[in-house]
Structure 1
Amino acid sequence: MNISFFVRRDFQTIGAYEHVIAIKDHLIEHTALVVQDDEHHYLGILTPLDVLQRPRNLVIDCLAEKPSITMPCSVDEALQIMQAEQEEVLSVYQGEQFEGLVFRNDLLEFVRTKRRELEQEVTEYIGEIKSMHVQLEQSRQVLQAIFDSTQSYIFLVDPQFRIIFFNKKAQEGSQSMHGRELKLGDSILAYTESGNDEMALLTFHENYNKAVGTKQTVVSEREIYYPSMMSSWIRSEYTPVYDNGVLIGVALRIVDITERKRHEIQIEMQTEILQQISWMQSHQTRQPVATILGLLNILEKSSLSDDNRKIVAMLEDTALKLDDVIRDTVIRANSI
């Protein structure tokens, strides 16, 4: 801060040739007096210390050379000069024009006041930070509880592939599959399915880079195998995470979809069986029926007895009904 706010321009003046005894009380009251010549030109500053160090009869003989400062000058600079020169008051100039006096006590009081204000601001700021920390910790605990409640394996991996977050399910999965605990800062590349699965590493790199490059979620599904265990299916979702446009990393969410996959495989097998049934009905079963119907059409019925004609009619009716059943079965199978 500039010292211009602390310059005293209502200073007391005395003549250079006044007797020291005459101005003693005046000097004690004002601490410092500005000494002027008969033409009111500034000659210097007289302080009680000057009288003690130079006990003379006249004011002019007691004066000692003192440092001065020129505006603009900061409070810190003025205090440094006072400290170095052991002075309590300094004369202040604006260019070559004498402006007034600045006292050390005034500057120190200002510094103490500013210090108290700063200490109060710091105390309030610390209180706000503590309050924010409590709120952030509560939010973190809530988010952690949410993530820990899901059955998905969740990781947050930074651009150097270091793990910077994981949930409870991911920790449990690491223990059961790898026999080791997840640690923040570890490379996720050390936690592939078999420890050296090149396909897993390649898939991870491709999906991670694709998610970052497209800034969109990348989804993949694949079957994994474990020693002495049945195979299982997982669905992996790679979602890029940004903070104010800066990439933090990629959120990796892994879900066990084994049951869903097995159900899908079962449906595919059932569909294939239905298609086979449809084909068999259309070709292998319907063909003999069509042959029977064709033979019945060319059969010379006039030479048959009445009983045989009835039997042939019943046979033809049954074959037509069987043909309708086959046709309906084929249509239903194809619609499924």
Structure 2
Amino acid sequence: MNISFFVRRNFQTIQPYQGIKAIKDDLLEHAALVVEDEEHNHLGILTPLDVVQRPYNLVIDCLTVKPALSVYVTVDEALQTLQQEQSEVLPVFDDDRFEGLVFKNDLLEFVRSKRRELEAEVDERTREIKIIHEKLELSRQVLQAMFDSTQSSIFLIAPDYRIIFFNKKALEVSRFMYGRELQLGDSILNYKMDSDDDVFTSFQVNFEKALRSGEPVTTEREIVYPNMQLSNWIRSEYTPVYDEGKAIGVALRVVDITDRKLYELQIDMQAQILQQISWIQSHQTRQPVATILGLINILDKSSMTEDNQKIIGMLEQTAHKLDDVIRETVIKANSM
């Protein structure tokens, strides 16, 4: 900002050959007087300091040479000149035309006012930032609590494999599997054992696939650790994460699905057993029943006594019931 706004143009003028005593009261009242000749040519400005430094009787003899300020200089530049000259007031010109006076106190008051405004604005911005920070911290704590309450290992991994975030479960798994703490900023590739090469190759393939496609990638596989005599089934979910349309990494969620897989294997085994039962019922059990029914049909019942005919009839009914039961068992087993 230039000093044109601060130039005082309602200044008091005096003649160069006036006596100091005659203008003393005006000098004290205005703090500076503009000295002009009879043709209104600017000769300089007189200040109380001039009279103290040059205690002569006439105004012209008390004048000291003072640098002129351009109306286009900034407030800071004007203050610097005033400070260097150890002056409280200096004349201001627009090219060769005298414009008026600029006082150091006017500029300082403006600077102080601006400083107060800036300080108030800084305080307000500081309060706003503090509120935002508190809200963000609360959100972070809530999210951290949510992530830490799950039994899944959760990571946020940058495109260069740096760890941006991990939850409590991920930290516990790292301590158990690798005997070391996860550290933000570390490469996730640093956390592996010799037997992990195949696992990490699969990880990198799926990680890059999620980043390139922008779509989630899900895999399930069994991981065997021979040295630890440990085997686990895990489900890995790779979800690309974006900020303002730019991929900042991949959220990796790793779930231990060993119990589920064991249950599925048990179900598969039971299904196989049922299939075997169905085959046995269909071929090995039903065949004798069919044989019994066939033999009954070729019996000559007319030569039998009435009691024997009743017994054969009951035997035939029982064989048919047993055949129906076997048939229903086979149907149910094949439908599972």
Q: Same fold (TM over 0.5)?
A: yes
Q: How far has the Cα of 1:232 moved from its partner?
A: 1.7
Provide the C-alpha distance between the structure 2 equivalents of 1:231 and 1:222, rounded to a whole number of angstroms: 11
Contact 2:211 2:240 in 1 (8 A): yes
SS at match of 2:90: strand
Number of aligned positions between the proteins: 334
TM-score, normalised by the number of residues in structure 2: 0.87
Give me the TM-score of the superposition, normalised by structure 1. Answer: 0.87
- Residue 20 of structure 2 aligns to a residue whose secondary structure is coil
State the 1:211 CA deviation. Answer: 2.3
Residue 329 (structure 2) aligns with: 329
Q: State the Cα deviation string for residues 162-207 of structure 1 (Å, max 9, x = none).
A: 2222222222222222222222222211223x34512211121122
Displacement, 1:14?
0.8
1:111 shift after superposition:
1.2
Structure 2: which amino acid aligns with 1:243? Answer: D
Distance 1:149 1:32 in 2: 77
| 1:57-114 Cα shifts (integer Å, max 9, x gaps) | 4333433332222333321121122223333222223344322111111111211222
Q: Which residue of 1 aligns with 2:275?
A: 275
Q: Which amino acid aligns with 1:36?
A: E
Question: How far off is 1:16 after superposition?
Answer: 2.5
Query: Runs of 5+ in structure 1 lacking a partner?
Result: none
Corresponding residue of 1:50: 50
Task: Work out the CA distance in 2 between the residues paired with 1:149 and 1:183.
Answer: 20
| Alignment check: 8 A CA contact 1:301 1:309 kept | no
1:163/1:187 contact within 8 Å kept: yes
CA distance in 2, matches of 1:270, 1:197: 33
Q: Give the aligned partner of residue 188 of structure 2.
A: 188
Write the deviation string for residues 3-49 of structure 1: whole angstroms up to 9, x where unpaired.
Answer: 22211111111123322332233223222111112122323222233
- The Cα offsets for residues 309-330 of structure 1, whole Å up to 9 and x where unpaired, read as 5565445434332322221111
Q: Name the SS for the 2:21 alignment partner.
A: coil
CA distance in 1, matches of 2:199, 2:52: 91
Code of the residue aligned with 2:145 in structure 1: it is: A
Given the superposition, is the C-alpha separation of residues 196 and 70 from structure 1 closer, same or farther in structure 2, using an over 3 Å criterion?
Answer: farther
SS at match of 1:108: helix
Give the stretch that moved more between structures: 309-318 or 162-171.
Answer: 309-318
Q: Structure 2 CA distance, aligned partners of 1:148 and 1:142?
A: 10
Return the alpha-carbon distance in structure 1 between the equivalents of residues 324 and 303 of structure 2: 27
Q: Which amino acid aligns with 1:235?
A: R
Pairwise CA RMSD of aligned residues? 2.6
- Residue 119 of structure 1 aligns to a residue in which SS? helix
Matched with 1:305 is 304
Using the alignment, how far apart are the partners of 1:97 and 1:105 within structure 2? 24
Deviation, 1:292, is 4.7
What is the rounded CA distance, in whole Å, between the counterparts of 1:284 and 1:175 in structure 2? 56
Contact 2:199 2:223 in 1 (8 A): no
Amino acid at match of 2:212: G
Q: Please, which runs of 5 or more residues in structure 2 have no aligned partner?
A: none
Equivalences for residues 221-236 of structure 1 within 5 A: 221-226=220-225, 227-236=227-236
Over the matched positions of the two proteins, sequence identity in percent amounts to 65
Change (3 A) 1:196 1:258: closer
Q: Equivalent residue for 2:266?
A: 266
Q: CA deviation at 1:155?
A: 1.9
Q: What is the rounded CA distance, in whole Å, between the counterparts of 1:309 and 1:127 in structure 2? A: 105
Q: Which residue of 1 aligns with 2:74?
A: 74
The match for 2:196 is 197
